[in-house]
Amino acid sequence: MNNKFDALKDDDSGDHDQNEENSTQKDGEKEKTERDKNQGSSKRKAVVPGPAEHPLQYNYTFWYSRRTPGRPTSSQSYEQNIKQIGTFASVEQFWRFYSHMVRPGDLTGHSDFHLFKEGIKPMWEDDANKNGGKWIIRLRKGLASRCWENLILAMLGEQFMVGEEICGAVVSVRFQEDIISIWNKTASDQATTARIRDTLRRVLNLPPNTIMEYKTHTDSIKQIFPFFVLGENSFCPPARHSPSWRGPHHFF
């Protein structure tokens, strides 16, 4: 509303000299353009539930990434490959995004969907992630779509009951298998990680013999980049999984 009123005020200048008016108008337009840029950036972040919509406890953002198998991942290539799909604040907004997205089972190649709380990037080095870890479940082909949907609905519905510990979830589509994981903030909190594990078993209806592995982000980094030091200017790819996890440990 302020922008509209400012524009009206700029137009109401008939008593000024024409040259002065033109100069003032140009300055006003330039100033307004800069203001709009800044306000536009803020507006993109300020996602709120619509009228009569059902608000979620946290805002969430969908991300998508895809990379070429065997090609080394660098900071620059990752930043180019990961795409932010959109942010939502209500149940209705979630379904508007989700209903138009390809299901994981229909993706090809090395593709990943990420769903993280707004403000948390799906990267190991993010402040919310760097001291945390993730539970990983490896899936046979054909199961990813159902498991992903059940996982994110449980996360959005706050079924894990661990306060602010949940950061987000990832589904990673690969050629011979698929992988789902859920990330939390504090890897050292064993009570929290145990509760997340038990909730995963319940919401995904996992068989008792399903192998689940918890991996701290620090261990993941050391395993893939032995001399890597997590720091202010460091980089970590989002959903790289340790080769040691490969094997016949699939769910179902």
Q: What gap in Å lies between CA 32 and CA 36, rounded to an integer?
A: 6
In whole numbers, what is the pLDDT of the chain averaged over residues?
78
Q: Count other C-beta atoms under 10 Å from residue 103's C-beta.
A: 14
Q: Specify the higher pLDDT residue, 230 or 112.
A: 112
**Cβ partners under 8 Å of residue 235, min gap 6:** 74, 75, 78, 123, 125
Predicted local confidence at residue 66, as pLDDT: 87
Give 109 or 121, the one with higher predicted confidence. 121
What is the pTM (predicted TM-score) of this model?
0.72
**In this prediction, what percent of the chain has a pLDDT beyond 70?**
66
Q: Does the pLDDT of residue 56 top 50, yes or no? A: yes
Beta pairing partners, 65: 112
Q: Please choose, from the candidates 201, 200, 199, 207, the residue with its C-alpha nearest in 3D space to the C-alpha of residue 250.
A: 207
Please state, in angstroms and rounded to a whole number, the distance separating the CA atoms of residues 26 and 13. Answer: 13
pLDDT of residue 221: 77
More confident residue, 104 or 79: 104
CATH number of the domain at 55-251, out of 2.30.30.100, 1.10.3720.10, 3.20.20.140, 3.30.760.10? 3.30.760.10
Would you call 137 exposed, middle or buried from its count of C-beta atoms within 10 A (0-12, 13-18, 19+)?
Answer: buried
Q: Which amino acid is at 112?
A: D
Q: What span, in angstroms and rounded, lies between the C-alpha atoms of 174 and 33?
A: 45
β-pairing verdict for 110-117 and 213-216: unpaired
More confident call, 109 vs 136 = 136
Domain chopping of the chain, boundaries: 2-45, 55-251
The two three-digit tokens of residue 152, written as one number: 């994110």
pLDDT digits (tens, 9 = 90+) for 173-227: 998 999 999 999 999 999 999 999 999 999 999 988 899 999 999 888 787 665 5
Contact between residue 166 and residue 184 where contact means Cβ atoms under 8 Å apart:
yes
